[in-house]
Structure 1
């Protein structure tokens, strides 16, 4: 009775396996160790175009292109060792001569004595996957070409605009010399000069973005006192009575780095601090040295930054403010600042909480290593 029951279970398993093979969407083919086809499911008929009766007893080379016959030797060698082959991408030939890209999974087939008697192949058509991959590569290259053209255009446009803007600023400065200090003309000219300076800064930022994209943002390093540099940059902000600035460091901190680029970073951070801190608020700058590095922080009393923005705030053209907020900017200052600090071998980051202001901190080695 036990043997009869075991026989029934074996038959059920065999029937289940046969049903799975028959209904599979992947081509499933069995062959001997000499490459002779012993089974061929309906999916194999659909994929390769041969009926089962046409291929049983034939050699598997029937569907292998001539230039890939050597693959069969490799497969049979691996199977003979009892090894399984997974996701082997190759090409096979259909009855009508069409070449079909497929992914093969090949397993050894054992008899009851655990001897290898053949191989079972599962073939999946990957034509659509390859076509999709090629399309993605084409689109990626197309986007890269367009991006390069965009960068070239921005660089050219910014460069061409700098000359007339510089001339305009020069003309306005000449007019300022001839305007009465308290006159309406003097006030208007002062506003024009400020707006022209803002436009010049914007063009320089756009040029820097283009240089970064094509790898032409160079560092020109020199030895200088970082404390003196901070004090110099601050002198351009302290004329404003709208905010209070605190920087208590006095002892010189001599570093070897690109002074102009670090001025640019600090100016960007201070501009943001002033932009987001309400009138009468305080902007605090701190500096410390540790393990051959210098750490500089800029703390504001502004709006603070939502957590979801913190990981993206240094991305190109990203702005962590509501689109309707009356705060100017293109979202490239922090991106440029991060690139400058990174190229110095340093790091830059931010800590913030909505409604409690923000602290931007950057660190650089005291001695820049090219």
Structure 2
């Protein structure tokens, strides 16, 4: 009103005001008087829930040009506005009618009652809206053609759509195809008035495509003329119940179709359930078994076992894969494997047990057959192994005998070789050497009388003396190489020094010789073997190593003598070394060295790291010829 008072009539910009007769601070009649006093040119139309001639008369007195009852807004409001905008009145009575003037109705009292009623309606509407939105069930208003008009949040949660999405759909749009026809039939019966409500389990298709099981209740709201205003739908989510029901059905199907016996009993041992598997295994039907003590399938000698089982069940313990014996209806004993679990009530108290019994008689029979077969096979295998072992032992003995013969022959050959070398060396020294010495002496005699010879003949005689001396030296060297006399006369120490000095002179390879001062004399076989190994190693150094130096080291300990020959040449390839280590080398010298060491029960080793070769031979001082 203050705003209206501050405006000039021509500046207000207002031409028509529509107001409710019931307002919080000022009722519509009083407000009309104030407006007309301030802006007399403004047309006022009052809206009221009262279809009362006295209220209309009071509205006329207050200066209103129109009065529209709320129940007739749809038909009268536009007409009232058009007439008021032309400054024409709109009332549902003739304002000058005399009967109205004599009415005894107090308009102020009506307005007071109207205000109280409006407050009650607002409170009721707020209570309804709060209840509607906060309901634990889905609640919706539906139009007579099945459209969603209003839905609460719980309904949206159940169906998986937002409110905005649902009000654009019909119930049929999200109903499962298998439920649509039945739903439509029931919906039509309610709208037609054949029934006021119905309830049923129904399926809706959620927005994400999943299935929503609900309890659907539908009722109809009608006006005083029995015309349908809207329908109320209450939806209860029963998805979890359905899932539990399906789980129970699945479990029951599994139990019933199981090949194993599945039996439940209470804590006194009375059977409470009995599946088809139990009937197949034990021969009793469910009708015969349920209500009977479980001892009907337990041998008398195992009754105490059942007492212990019940004791463990009462304490909540589980029994797994317990193998025992049970009896059938015909008295046949069966081997079974039991798994027994405690059954608890909703409060967690043990009220019974669930038993799964599997017939393992055939398994036991097969296990026994397998054990017998294994025993027989073990006996047969042991016999064959024993026979085969004896055969292999015989062959091995024979092979060892043959090997020993070969080794003996090899030892004899080596000894014969050394003896033959000694004989040849002696022959060369004693016979050929003496003949050459005689020839040299004769030539010397001729030289003393060379003046009697021609100059040419004298020169030839002198050359013969020189040649004879060279041949005699070569014969002596060959003889010593075949078998150095120092080896027999003085020992290994002097023989090795003589050989190494000659080798250095002939090969131009620098060889360092180290001999333990306490070496002394050794057994003849040891000395000749060590000498031959040094001889063979240095020949290999000269032929294959391309080394400019080598070393020979002989040391002695209380029980053995060790020989080590090293060079600093190109070494031996890993492949060739592997063949040598595995005794697959075709070299005669290496085999000879190995055989000499083996004959004397010693050790022989060859190593190469790509920067030379090291040969080690170890021989015991106490010779035990192999």
Q: Of the two, which has the highest radius of gyration?
A: 2
**TM-score (structure 1 length as normaliser):** 0.45
**TM-score (structure 2 length as normaliser):** 0.28
> Greater relative contact order (Cα 8 A, min sep 6): structure 1 or 2?
1
